[in-house]
Amino acid sequence: MTPVILLAAEKESAEVTDWAARVGWVVGLALFVALVYWLMREGWKWRGTLQGDLPELHSTPEEPGPAKLRMSGRYHGSTTAGQWLDRIVAHGLGTRSRAELTLTDAGLDVVRPGAGDFFVPADALRGARLDKGIAGKVLTEGGLFVVTWAHGERLIDSGFRSDHAAEHHEWVEAVNSMSNTIITTEGAER
């Protein structure tokens, strides 16, 4: 009997959780996540500052004329033409959102609930194409409707995805007929 008592006396109970260490790790992790978020936000603002030479976006004219085409879907952002990873964030062009597109003889009207609307005059349209990606969004081949347009001294690619992807081909033809320019997948004019 004595050996059993001795063995039981030698065993130790489980170690108690060190709550101070756990709280320290949680607070440290939260501070790290906050720092990363703050750095991302500062990088976004810095990119907008670098793109400060981009003129203000056009607003929709009083009488844009009758609609040739309408599309509802998503706006996925804008980049420098031919540079699908060079996102443009100035004037809210980097904000992804829902979008309602209307093509008229006056140009392309982009209405974005929760983000700034903009208008691309017909003489600024340089063409359209189907593509698979733009900064921050990659889809299947031809899943993205990309409009190339001139604004100030820059050529800009803006990516849209319709709620009904079958509409993309009709939009590409209509925009290209207005601009008389065909844009290749790489962003070069033909």
User: Could you give the number of structural domains in the chain?
Assistant: 2
Residue 58 forms part of a structural domain = no
Q: 44 pLDDT band (50/70/90 cuts)?
A: confident
**60-71 pLDDT, tens per residue?**
888 878 889 999
Residue 28 shares a structural domain with residue 104: no
pLDDT digits (tens, 9 = 90+) for 136-145: 777 778 789 9
Q: What is the pLDDT of residue 28?
A: 95
Name the token pair of 77.
């952002």
Together in a domain, 166 and 103: yes
User: What residues contact residue 96 under an 8 Å CB cut-off, 6+ apart?
Assistant: 74, 75, 76, 77, 136, 137
Torsion of CA 87, 93, 95, 101, to 10 degrees: -120
3-state helix, strand, coil in the chain (%, to 5): 35, 35, 35
Segment among 11-25, 99-113, 176-190 with least mean pLDDT: 176-190
Q: Are residues 170 and 84 in the same domain?
A: yes
pTM metric for this prediction: 0.72
Tell me: do 45 and 73 sit in the same domain. no
Q: Which structural domain, as residue segments, surrounds residue 75?
A: 67-179
